């Protein structure tokens, strides 16, 4: 069973990588190979995938695009490691996750986005919200959220 799980994650990452083919191959490769994903990298994936930014957009501009769309609560340094709570915020807003009462009342805060995805079984119960994921782990979480909540909210803007 564990082999099937790993195989499905590898296939999902491959499919995700193919769906991100419009993005710079170097940027996606760098993200996949990152030991710790940064906020800039996470925002780049989200902004370009949703059409809020072009594939040659900087990480900082990607963050600004997500803030402008209401999908990121605060700007940090693009080089800052992205915690799983911040990734949860980005993914939950990207896929328009409704979440629980506190998630909605907080405007989709990282804390309640993390708690919601954890409650739905997309994040292991013993995971610390301050954990920083590798690029592959971040893509795996992206795939899980995508499979659970469907397509992200695309825009025609660029």
Helix (H, G, I), strand (E, B) or coil at 81: strand
Burial class (CB in 10 A: 0-12, 13-18, 19+), 65: buried
Place of tokens 């501009």: 61
**Predicted pLDDT of residue 11:** 67
DSSP character at residue 133: P
Q: pTM (2 decimals)? A: 0.79
Give me the tens of pLDDT residue by residue for the chain, a chain 158 residues long: 567 666 666 666 666 655 554 456 678 888 889 999 999 999 999 998 888 988 888 999 999 999 999 888 788 899 999 999 999 999 999 998 888 888 888 888 899 999 999 999 999 999 999 999 999 999 999 989 988 987 655 555 44
For every residue of 16-60, DSSP letters joined together read HHHHTTTS-HHHHHHHHH-SS-BHHHHHHHHHHHHTSS-TT--HH
DSSP lists the bridge partners of residue 83 as 132
Judged on CB neighbours under 10 Å (0-12, 13-18, 19+), 75 is middle
């Amino acid at each position: 069973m564990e082999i099937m799980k790993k195989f499905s994650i590898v296939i999902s990452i491959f499919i995700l990588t193919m769906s991100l083919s419009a993005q710079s191959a170097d940027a996606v490769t760098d993200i996949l190979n990152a030991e710790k994903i940064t906020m800039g990298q996470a925002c780049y994936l989200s902004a370009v995938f949703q059409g809020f930014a072009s594939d040659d957009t900087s990480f900082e501009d990607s963050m600004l695009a997500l803030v402008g769309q209401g999908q990121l609560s605060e700007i940090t340094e693009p080089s800052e490691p992205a915690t799983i709570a911040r990734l949860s915020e980005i993914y939950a807003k990207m896929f328009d996750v409704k979440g629980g009462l506190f998630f909605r009342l907080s405007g989709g805060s990282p804390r309640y986005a993390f708690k919601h995805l954890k409650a739905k079984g997309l994040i292991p119960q013993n995971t610390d919200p301050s954990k920083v994921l590798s690029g592959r782990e971040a893509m795996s979480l992206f795939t899980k959220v995508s499979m659970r909540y469907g397509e992200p909210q695309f825009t025609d803007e660029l």
